[in-house]
């Protein structure tokens, strides 16, 4: 019997060295993605498409750090029809402090 299951992609943290990077270098379709700052780090996080620039140009979200506790700032998008329609290779992130990282929470539907 086949079953529809929504599973975590296992992406985890994404390291940013000095320029915006895609969440994944190869195309991967998901149904929900949430991006948050790494807790305890001091970078702002910029989220955008392939045209994202470090000066916040073309950013569709700027997330503040949460160095000392409380609820983390987040950017989240989910397909309203439950489809894998979001290509995470087209979502770029940038940390204002080189070497900081970003938490990417991605879930996708699969049939098992």
Partner 1 sequence: MNRRELFGKLLGAGVVAASTASAVVQSSDGSYNGPPGGSRGSKLVAVMSGPFSTASDPLGLLNLTQIPQFVAYLRIQVHPGQNGKIVLASSAIYNHWNQFEDAAFAELWPNYDASTDNGRSDTWVMQDVNWQNTINLADIYVYPEIWGETPLVTAYQLV
> Are 44 and 54 within 8 A, CB to CB?
no
Q: For residues 25 and 81, which CB has a smaller minimum distance to partner 1 in the complex?
A: 81
- Tell me the site size for partner 1, rule CB under 8 A: 36
Handedness of CA 33, 69, 71, 67 (dihedral sign): negative
Q: For residues 16 and 66, which CB has a smaller minimum distance to partner 1 in the complex?
A: 66
Residue 7 interacts with partner 1 (CB under 8 A): yes or no: yes
With H, G, I as helix, E, B as strand and everything else as coil, classify residue 37. strand
| 6 token code pair | 């929504």
Residue 64 interacts with partner 1 (CB under 8 A): yes or no: no
Residue 38 interacts with partner 1 (CB under 8 A): yes or no: yes
Residue 87 interacts with partner 1 (CB under 8 A): yes or no: no
Residue 84 interacts with partner 1 (CB under 8 A): yes or no: no
> Which of 16-24, 48-56, 79-87, 91-99 is the region at the interface with partner 1 (rule: CB under 8 A)?
79-87
Strands (E), the chain: 4-8, 12-15, 21-22, 29-30, 32-37, 45-48, 59-63, 75-78, 86-87, 92-95, 101-111
Binding residues for partner 1 (CB under 8 A): 1, 3-13, 31-32, 34, 36, 38-39, 66, 68-72, 78-82, 103-107, 109, 112
């Amino acid at each position: 019997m086949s079953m529809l299951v929504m599973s975590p992609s296992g992406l985890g943290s994404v390291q940013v060295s000095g320029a915006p990077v895609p969440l994944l270098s190869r195309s991967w379709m998901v149904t929900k993605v949430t991006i948050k700052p790494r807790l305890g780090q001091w970078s702002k996080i910029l989220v955008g498409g392939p045209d994202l620039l470090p000066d916040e140009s073309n950013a569709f979200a700027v997330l503040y750090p949460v160095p000392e506790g409380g609820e983390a700032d987040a950017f989240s998008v989910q397909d309203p029809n439950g489809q894998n329609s979001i290509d995470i290779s087209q979502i770029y992130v940038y940390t204002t402090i080189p070497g900081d990282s970003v938490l990417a929470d991605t879930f996708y539907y699969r049939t098992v």
